[in-house]
Amino acid sequence: MDFDFSNTPLLGIYTQLKNHLNTQERVSFKVVNPDNFSSTYNGTIVKVAKGEALYRGYKTWVDLAHTLGCKMLTPVVIDDDFILVKLQKLQVESFHSVDASKEEKYGVDSIFAHIHKNEEFAFLHAYTQALHNVNLPTRKRILNLGINSGDEFELIKKVSENFSTYELVGIDYCHSAIQHARQKFQNDKNITFYAHDINKLSSLELGRFDLLISIGTLQSTTLSFQKVLMDMVQNHLYKEGSIILGFPNCRWIDGEMIYGAKMRNYNFSEMSNLYKDVNFAKKYLQQKKFRVTITGKDYIFITATSIR
Ligand SMILES: C[S@@+](CC[C@H](N)C(=O)[O-])C[C@H]1O[C@@H](n2cnc3c(N)ncnc32)[C@H](O)[C@@H]1O
């Protein structure tokens, strides 16, 4: 059954779809074709051949789809005025490898290994902007904590004209991910990967770095976020160094990156932990005389540059 939502307020649409999806895997509904209008905000009453309809753009339908645990399929044009929007329920899957050790939770056999963050625009844009903000070409020694299979170095390589002049070090205790990273970058002699616990970083005697990057890692239950951050600033960064920290504000479900951090014990997105850690990092880094910016959307980025 297709719903006709040409004139239905958004709250009514949400309620009806939610009820429908309690028992169904797919839903389709008729709404005005947003391509026929420009400079129009959602909820505006617009003229169509047979009267009036409520205007809404595609972003609303994608937001609604994700909130309902769905993916939006390609809409079908019904006639000159209307389209059929189609949503399909996502299958909630376990994010980590079944029965994997803590080190292999993000290994090559996990669902995580199928994620390509650099192909998610919200991530790509925020990370590229962060690299730009720390003036990447001036940063020679770069350390990445929780590098996994090396996506974050891949982007640095793509945006750099002088890649071979950097000295990059990537740390992760996941052996299979590090092995994969080593294979991917086997021709880049300026990169070293260590399969090593971040808690025991000092035993590697790596010296100090110009740029520290850590994305989606420092909030891990295996690490004390505040302790690792303070240790990095005090013992592993040059006085003029910079830091890029990325905090996931999303979940990965059945092929989609869904906005909003998730905490255990909540069945909806809850961001207390995210705000707490971002706020701590910002205050601490400002105290240590860094200029700090907070950017991003599905990933929140703290970018800090020393002004000492
Ligand atoms: C969520 S993944 C993020 C990976 C990558 N930075 C990204 O955003 O795609 C977290 C990574 O941190 C690693 N990790 C977690 N705790 C660690 C620890 N104590 N020492 C070393 N690596 C750790 C995991 O193995 C995993 O590869």
| Ligand 1: centre distance to CA 211 (Å) | 18
Percentage above 90 pLDDT, the chain: 93
| Ligand 1: centre distance to CA 201 (Å) | 14
In angstroms, the CA 37 to CA 26 distance is: 28
Q: Is the CB of 172 under 6 A from ligand 1?
A: yes
In angstroms, the CA 208 to CA 211 distance is: 9
Q: Which CATH architecture has domain 102-306?
A: 3-Layer(aba) Sandwich (3.40)
Q: Is the pLDDT of residue 69 over 60?
A: yes
CB-hemisphere CA count at 13 Å for 226?
7
In angstroms, the CA 146 to CA 138 distance is: 23
Q: Is the CB of 219 under 6 A from ligand 1?
A: no
pLDDT in tens, 128-167: 999 999 999 999 999 999 999 999 999 999 999 999 999 9
Q: Are strands 76-77 and 82-89 parallel, antiparallel or unpaired?
A: antiparallel
Domain ranges of the chain: 2-89, 102-306
| Ligand 1: centre distance to CA 148 (Å) | 6
Which tokens go with 76? 């079908």
| Ligand 1: centre distance to CA 73 (Å) | 32
Q: Is the CB of 248 under 6 A from ligand 1?
A: no
Q: Is the CB of 174 under 6 A from ligand 1?
A: yes
Percentage above 70 pLDDT, the chain: 98
Q: Is the pLDDT of residue 296 over 90?
A: yes
Kindly give, in sequence order, each residue whose CB lies less than 8 Å from that of residue 216, ignoring residues fewer than 6 positions away: 146, 246, 247, 248, 299
Kindly give, in sequence order, each residue whose CB lies less than 8 Å from that of residue 184, ignoring residues fewer than 6 positions away: 149, 150, 154
Instruction: Sort 70 into a burial class: Cβ within 10 Å, 0-12 / 13-18 / 19+.
Output: buried
Nearest C-alpha to atom 22 of ligand 1 is from which residue? 172
In angstroms, the CA 10 to CA 219 distance is: 36
Ligand 1 atom with the smallest distance to the CA of 147 is 6
Average of per-residue pLDDT across 292-301: 98
| Ligand 1: centre distance to CA 45 (Å) | 49
**pLDDT-based confidence at residue 79 (cuts at 50, 70, 90):** very high
Q: Given phi > 0 = left and psi -120 to 50 = alpha, else beta, which region is 212?
A: beta
Q: Classify the C-alpha dihedral 250-125-129-184 as positive or negative.
A: positive
| Phi, psi of 232, rounded to the nearest 5 degrees | -60, -50
Q: Is the CB of 118 under 6 A from ligand 1?
A: no
Ligand 1 atom with the smallest distance to the CA of 148 is 27
Nearest C-alpha to atom 13 of ligand 1 is from which residue? 146
By the 8 A CB rule, do 86 and 94 touch?
no
pLDDT at 96: 56
Q: Is the CB of 33 under 6 A from ligand 1?
A: no
| CA 87 to each of CA 64, 67, 294, 302: distance values in angstroms, whole numbers, following the listed order | 9, 11, 33, 34
- Which 8-state DSSP code applies to residue 272? H
| Ligand 1: centre distance to CA 219 (Å) | 9
pLDDT at 92: 83
| CA 177 to each of CA 15, 83, 103, 151, 272: distance values in angstroms, whole numbers, following the listed order | 43, 44, 10, 11, 30
pLDDT in tens, 92-121: 865 655 567 888 999 999 999 999 999 999
